[in-house]
Structure 1
Amino acid sequence: MFEYGPDGKTLAPSAKNPTDYHGTRVVRVIAAKQDNIGVEGFAPTSEIIAIRQVSTWSSSIILAFQVAKLMKADVINCSWVLPLLSGITSLVIENVASASNAPIIVVSAGNSGKKACEVNHLSALSSVVVIGAINKNGNVAEFSNYGQCVDYYAPSSIASTSLNGYVNFGGTSSSAAIVSGVVAQLKACGVEYPLTKLTMVENILPAHVVNKNNIKSVTLIRSKGSEINEH
């Protein structure tokens, strides 16, 4: 539908370096078309608002979210982390989340193997949905950030596009992309409260039922809420 680069305030921004294709891989997971040739996205009928957000400048991030709001985005994917988050940026994101079309902001927890609240300040916002990664055994992946700020866990390995065909796309970026695609498809199907339906989707698990498998004791928590138990 629309392309924009907040850093340079340009329309139709082009890729500048290999890391730019991270966004392309995220979009493929969400919305690759049904063409019987390549892999298919989770929400193949979705329309894409492509915002090339590369820097962590507050001014650029604010502009990116404002563009998403003006375009009335239903799902906003943030497959990236922010080690620092200004107060004004937080207020802008909260404002976008409260828009009349009720957009859902999906954020990746990050890949440091640490508590998400401490290393990804974007994850601490109450208005976003934070996604960590699980391995094939259903436990938190060793690299995935975890803890109180994570809401759901999803698989972290999926085929995606690259310059030369297809590659395996992993990390919490792909986990967040999977959830973004599922939510977008649920919205497209008219589901009024898509987040309440996430646990009906295979391999998408609420945080309080997932164990961190590389520590001996773990506190299970409700998403951004009270503790349940320890074991």
Structure 2
Amino acid sequence: MTHYFRSLPSRRKKFFPSLLLISLLFLLSQFSASNAGTGVRKAVTPQKQSPLLSPLGYAKGTAPIALAAKSGRTLIPGVVVVRMQKDSRLGKAAFPLQSPGLAAVAAQYNISAMRPLFPNIPDSRPARFHGLKEMYTLHFSEHIDPIEVAMALDGVPEVLYAEPKYAYPLLAVPDDSLYSQMQQFQAISAELAWDIARGENGDVVIAIVDGGTDWQHEDLNANIWNNADEVPDNGVDDDNNGYVDDVRGWNFARRNNDPSGLSGQPVNGGHGTHTAGTAGAVTNNKLGVASISWNATIMPINASAGQQDRAIQYGFEGIVYAAENGADIINCSWGSPGIPSSFEQDIIDFAYAKGSLIVAAAGNDNANNDLTGFFPASYNHVLSVGSTNNADRKSSFSNYGISIDVFAPGSSILSTYWSPSDSSRKYAFNSGTSMASPLVAGLAALVKTKNPDMTVDQLREQIRTTSDPIDALNSRYADSLGAGRVNALKALTESGPSVRIVGTRFIDGGANGIINAGENIEVTVLFTNYLSPVSDVSVELRAFDGVADISVKQATISQINSGDTTAATFSFL
């Protein structure tokens, strides 16, 4: 079988505009993999880093920041987030607002306070974590436009970037159909996978960053995370992580140690309890539902908005908490289309560097994520998840696109539930990519239990490359369903290579960044293999629309070992 993949246009500030008119296609064939259990060849696909987001999203002083208001996210009034330049003394100044640049903006917009966003990150952390120490929130009247304040701050030399802060919508689609029970497990071969690995046999922790989790639920309580370094209810931050008595997680909406849902936010709390059950409900206890992870540990984090149901306001603070406190997997069943955020990508990078795999829902708009991006699912280092029904058809609501990594059952999923108005309602059916995402997060816990030394990249790629193609059942969405629908059994038993595009470089004949008619363009593509070694890789560059005349279109890579990166160069006119 021959596998194709398309390269996607980059969102970097500097690019060749006319390249947007050219669809580039790479063809990979005729390779053999050392120790590749089944000998099945895997597709080489572009990783999300270049197609969807440059390292800092967009350049300082540019207008895209204003476009964020048009997305599904909600601006949080009265606050913006800034990251100071790494070498700026402002990050250590006792009164940073007294610096000339910030003082002028502060006076103009009556900024009342500048607070460290993550004051509890130790200074002893490795250099790659220090970006969080340079992040601040600036506070002002809720009647002032945050976008206007952010754009003013973006012009201050000491500021690396300034952005509004957002609340994200949840991604569940209520479904009252009760005709089926938990058929998603048969769809992904979970029963056979449980004969090989179960979460209860390891120490993998799945963080549920959501709208609150009923951690005392009869089918969740036994699997809830316990912070062994914290003494319960003594009013002391025993582990010095900045959170007092956080024995079972944290509630950012109420700033306390009860991660349950809020009584005035039934959708948030029900949603968070449902996703927690899908990932880690107590299994084999003759009660309620089962979970894909078979008793992995669940770390509940309430990241909801304090006064708004159906919204996540502290999602990225929740990600930092989860990563800092040892979560191996972090599930995010929320998000929105829009433009990328430098602040949010920095948080994702922090969690990735800490060894946490972030799994995120790809969205419920039946939209193409390649065209607009959907965040946080579209950020670098995130395993993005679309939804299918149990017959491998794309769910009618699910987003699609090459940039989505995998799909999983997310239609009519039965799981644990919480309702402040009906204490007897312990279980419910819900549909959405919100339900597909924790299923994949739970599968990641199974794979991590069996392979505890896997890196974040290896864990993500093992799940992706062992997925079953479903294009034949979804011809309308062919080539837009990621690697396919996840297969739990294959994820635990098969091995093979995972070669992905991690970067591209373009050099035009005039070396001025402008492509002119008849000018030779050299394209260097960087490939990284994350899993088993692979040899004799043949790569071909094709143009679909006939605009480009490709003069050097083929390259052969003799060997790519696990973890290695290599380059292949092509040229066209």
Choose which of 386, 392, 395 in structure 2 pairs with 1:138.
392
| 2:426 counterpart letter in structure 1 | G
Identity of aligned residues (%): 23
Counterpart Cα distance in 2 of 1:211 and 1:146 = 15
Q: Which residue of 1 aligns with 2:250?
A: 4
What does 1:26-175 correspond to in 2, within 5 Å?
26-34=275-283, 35-55=285-305, 60-84=314-338, 85-99=340-354, 102-117=355-370, 118=372, 120-157=374-411, 158-163=413-418, 164-175=425-436
Aligned length: 222
Distance 1:170 1:205, change over 3 A: farther
In proportion to residue count, which structure has more helix? Answer: 1
CA distance in 1, matches of 2:543, 2:409: 25
TM-score (norm 1): 0.82
Deviation at residue 212 of structure 1 after TM alignment: 8.6
Q: Compute the displacement of 1:143 (Å).
A: 0.7
Q: Cα offset for 1:221? A: 7.8
What TM-score results when the alignment is normalised by the length of structure 2? Answer: 0.35
Label 1:111 to 1:87 Cα distance change in 2 as closer, same or farther (>3 A): same
Q: Which has the higher Rg, Structure 1 or Structure 2?
A: 2
- Residue 27 and residue 199 in structure 1: after superposition, are their counterparts in 2 closer, same or farther (change >3 A)? same
Deviates more, 1:13-22 or 1:168-177: 13-22
Letter paired with 2:352 = A
- Structure 1 residues 45 and 137 mapped into 2: Cα distance closer, same or farther (>3 Å)? closer
Identify the range of structure 1 (104-113 vs 155-164) with the bigger mean alpha-carbon deviation: 155-164
Whether contact under 8 Å (2:402, 2:479) holds in the other structure is no
Any gaps of 5 or more consecutive residues in structure 2? 1-224, 226-247, 306-310, 419-424, 484-499, 502-524, 526-540, 545-573
In structure 2, relative to structure 1, the CA distance for the partners of 1:8 and 1:165 (3 Å cut) is: closer
Q: C-alpha distance in 1, partners of 2:277/2:337?
A: 26
Q: Who is 1:198 aligned against?
A: 463
Are 1:18 and 2:266 an aligned pair? yes
- Structure 1 gaps, min length 5: none
For residues 115-173 of structure 1, give each alpha carbon's deviation from its aligned partner in whole angstroms, at most 9, with x where no partner exists. Answer: 23526232221210000011344232211001122000111132112241322222111
Pick the structure with more strand per residue: 2
Does the Cα contact within 8 Å between 1:116 and 1:150 map onto a contact in 2? yes
Secondary structure, counterpart of 2:249 in structure 1? strand
Task: Indicate the larger mover: 49-58 or 137-146.
Answer: 49-58
CA distance, structure 2, for counterparts of residue 147 and residue 229 of structure 1 = 19
Distance in 2 (CA, whole Å) between partners of 1:178 and 1:228 is 36
Aligned CA distance change for structure 1 residues 15 and 200 (closer, same or farther; 3 Å): same
Q: State the distance in 1 between where 2:318 and 2:377 align.
A: 17
Q: In the superposition, relative to structure 1, how do residues 222 and 130 fare at CA in structure 2: closer, same or farther (>3 Å)? A: closer
Offset, 1:189: 2.4
Q: Is the 8 A contact 2:407 2:482 kept in 1?
A: no
Superposed CA RMSD in Å reads 3.1
